Amino acid sequence: MFAVVKTGGKQYRVVAEDVLKIEKVAGEAGDFVELSDVLMVGEGGNITAGAPLVEGACVSAEIVSQGRTRKIIAFKKRRRQNSRRTIGHRQHLTTVRIAEILTDGKKPSKKAAPKKAAPAKEEKAAAPKAEAKKEAPKKEAPKKEEAKAAPDGPLFTAPEGDADKLTDIKGIGPVAEKQLNEQGITTFAQIAALSEADIVKVDEYMPFSADQIKDWQGQAKDKIK
């Protein structure tokens, strides 16, 4: 026996045990649904057509799975309007297996299997508390080497005469200028004439690196030309 059913706005010719995908119907896998919009029923040469439905006929189907189709991309563009739009859509589908084709008002003989109750979770026995681990003595982080204290008095002897504006050297700001002046460095000539030993001394006792001082030396030599 075959039947023509209508569901989701589409018509399908089905027989028992057919598996097909139809528009989504509510339910879970294993549930049985009734497709009551039967347009035609037939067996051999005996065919009954509905007007529009066959009275007392229905099709019982088992839900196999719920799913979706592949994504369909719809792209719309309007010429010279700087308008374009992209929309993606995935249609929901239900896979069903035809169980029975019924006529004359008969009810389906197959029903959804009763759902198994979720097993109660066994109370986990309280695990014995592990003995508290003895805390290992924390190792003290090595202390950073303290900065060497500057010797009494300035590191250098300031020359007589007016002091230069050391901030004209790129990298020397007002604070650095003050620190240099306090250590007796007041002129471009002094910075240009610093020896390797002097640079090491400044690097050791002042917050300036040897590379900074060498950079300042090059600029100071240009200033006194």
| pLDDT score of 134 | 55
What span, in angstroms and rounded, lies between the C-alpha atoms of 23 and 21? 7
Q: Is 76 left (phi over 0), alpha (psi -120 to 50) or beta?
A: beta
The DSSP symbol for 109 reads: S
| pLDDT score of 202 | 84
| pLDDT score of 138 | 56
More confidently predicted of 117 and 102 = 102
pLDDT > 70? residue 148: no
pLDDT in tens, 45-104: 888 998 889 999 999 999 999 999 999 999 999 888 889 899 999 999 999 999 999 998
Question: Hey, how many other C-beta atoms are within 10 angstroms of the C-beta on 53?
Answer: 16
Average pLDDT over all residues of the chain? 83
pLDDT > 60? residue 200: yes
pLDDT band at 144 (very low <50, low <70, confident <90, very high): very low
pLDDT band at 224 (very low <50, low <70, confident <90, very high): confident
CA-wise closest residue to 87 among 79, 96, 75: 75
pLDDT more than 90, % of the chain = 37
Question: Hey, how many other C-beta atoms are within 10 angstroms of the C-beta on 182?
Answer: 14
| pLDDT score of 131 | 53
| pLDDT score of 14 | 94
Q: In the structure encoding, which two tokens stand for residue 217, read together?
A: 């030396």
Mean pLDDT, residues 147-163 taken together:
74
pLDDT in tens, 6-22: 999 999 999 999 999 99
Sheet with strand 92-102: strands edge to edge: 19-23, 92-102, 58-68, 32-35
Pick the CATH number of 166-223 from 1.10.860, 1.20.120, 3.30.1150, 1.10.150: 1.10.150
CB 27 within 8 A of CB 97: no
Domain definitions of the chain by residue range: 2-102, 166-223
Place of tokens 């169980």: 99
Q: What is the pTM of this model?
A: 0.46
| 3 state SS of 204 | helix
Q: In the structure encoding, which two tokens stand for residue 128, read together?
A: 């014995």
